[in-house]
Structure 1
Amino acid sequence: MVSRHIYLQLLFRIVMISLTALGSGFFFFGAQYMLAGLALILLFFQTVFLIRYVNQTNRKIAYFFDAIKNEDFTLRFPEKLSVKSLEELNHSLNTLNTMIQDIHLKKQAQEQYYQEILKQADIGILTVNKKGHILYSNPTVERLFNYQPLNHIKQFNQIDKKLYELFAALKPFDNQIYQLTNEREKTQLSLKATPISIDRQSLLLIIVQDIRKELEEKETDSWVKLIRVLTHEIMNTITPITSISESVLKYFKDDKQVLSAEEFNDHHVKSTVKGLEVIHKQGNDLMSFVQSYRTFLSVPEPDKELISAHDLFEKVVLLMDGQRKESTVNVIETKIRPEDLLLFIDEKQITQVLVNLGKNAQQSLAEQEDGRIQFLAGIDDKNKKYIQVIDNGPGIPEDLIDEVFVPFFTTKNTGTGIGLSLSKQIMRLHGGSIQVTSREYTVFTLTFD
């Protein structure tokens, strides 16, 4: 409606100017100079009024946009004017101003709401631009680092030089663990970086979380599991020894008196020998168990070198071929992408890990006719090298999958249960990790940082 009234006003004024100009020409060429002069004067005033009308409209619109730009919503235009088109224009501008003000207030309320959430969050949040300027940091970050205000990552130099180096080298999707030490305590911090873009500016959103409590709970849980397994193994070994010792002792004592040699018979001697043999065997089993524990605790530091993934897999498959005849595995397949992939590892230790995983896979496929084992090597989307051992066996029960890396835990009748925990220890010394999933296939993934 506003544009229609303005359009009609402009059209009317232009038509009048055009008619006045034609009249002025007509009177001039008709030698009616007085009328021609009056027409020119009228043409001048019409042109001035047209310019004033257009400037008045443009000035109002310009004032309106300047006020919006400066977030000034107090600007109001009079809505009772003699000119209908300007009156409707003012009314529309005032209505639009009110709508934008409402949207702005809602946006501010929403921003304050999110700001309050970030302030109350238990995790630290900060955003950093490419030049290292910290554009935002919530109070939790300042509390974790005991430093405020945070304006640039160079300030971390005053906390710890290694912390600054860590932030300076942080890249999108990085996940780092940092131990912050002060006079009172040590704090384990997890740092996760995520790229974001705001107003066409590339920023890094960094989440800082104190994981000390989680690590302590994890450590306690691991100790409980380990003690439970140790207790189970030791009790299984000691119980027969105690029972047999008690039975053999009865052959030598009666009513707290030691029997004489004449009172023994062949049955007592044979039973004693059998009991001692069982005690000897149980003692050896306990010694083997303790030796396994010592092996787990004394894994040497890796002697790393660049090894071809192809040569590594070739060696592992060759070592597994000796037991392949006793299993139902039809295929042991290897895939490497890229084919010339090199791994910076201790070849002996990683071979031990892969052979152990391969043997476990063979044992799980013992009663399956179409058994298949795959060894895969490649580079993941985070540019980290990995090895996967995959089998199509029955899988690991869901309630046991969290227990498989606990030392001495085993679901088999034979073995010490040290293999997977030893594999995890070796991967930890390599600065990597080992994980397992068991759904349609059982997949052990070795990731090298």
Structure 2
Amino acid sequence: MSDQASYFEKFSGFTGKTISELDLAKIEVEERGNQLQELANQSNARFNEVMKMNLGLKEKIEFLQDLTTNLSIQNEELEKRNQELERQKKENSQLSLDLKRNLEKVVLKEKELELRRDQLERQVNEKTDELIKSQKLAIIGELASRMAHDLKNPLSTIKNVIEVMENKQKIRLEEKIIYYGKLHRAIERISHQVDDVLEYGRSTQLSLQTCQITQLINQSILDGNFSNDIKINVERSEVKINVDTVKMEAVFTNLLVNAAQAINNKGIINVRILDNGANTIIAFEDSGPGIPQDALSKIFEPLFTTKQTGTGLGLSICRKIIEQHGGSIVAKNNPTTFIIRLPKNF
């Protein structure tokens, strides 16, 4: 019995110890379980993080794959463009060579053309000089022919009058007046034609002075010794102009004489004067039949005339003098009118 009690005591003590150890072990196990649970939770959290990272990496990989695909496509396009550029470069290089060759040909052609142009210029200059000389000779010949024709009549008149006067022993005063009148008119015709030629051939400086237009025109009428069958109406005007009075009087005289011849020394000549601001307009109008239409555009050309006599220089000289004063002259029909425009303060 005592042995059993002792054994029981020993067993009880051992059991109590074991239970205590088991409790401790349980506690430790629980703590380990808690630690493992915490580790498991941490592992799950870490796993979730890793999964998120994995998804992010997957998306980045897919993005990189797409980017790589796009880059590959772009690279192919760039390669194609590079090949195209290389092809164009070769073509441009060939084109540059062709252009260079063509440019060399053009330069050679230009040199040839320059030489040809120089030759043609020399030929043109030579031909022009020859033409000018021939034209001058033709003008001189035409002028000489006209002068010879025009001088023949007054010279014949002078010769006939002198022969008549020499053959008559006694000449009455009335006859002398008639004969001297014929001689005077013949000499005036010769003088007028010679003056026309001399005036056309020279260009003198203007001697300008201010004068009243009507005074110049009236003086031209007095010097013209016109027929009593001609009525010349000069419009009243106080307009003054700055002109070479000698040259301008010659212009007015020429226009009045032409008008008188156009009306066969019988009719009306009107001279109108208009103050047009900075310019003065002077119009010589006659009652004649007018200028032939085909002659109207050529009437101011040298040596051109619609009359049987005359050098054909009168109107050309008129235009030359008027243009020398900075003015202009035109002619029109219905009625026949020569219109002069002159600046007042030339």
Greater strand percent: which structure?
A: 1
> Looking at both structures, which has the greater relative contact order when contacts are Cα pairs under 8 Å and sequence separation is at least 6?
2
TM range (shorter): 0.3 to 0.5
Greater helix percent: which structure?
A: 2
TM-score, normalising length: structure 2 = 0.44
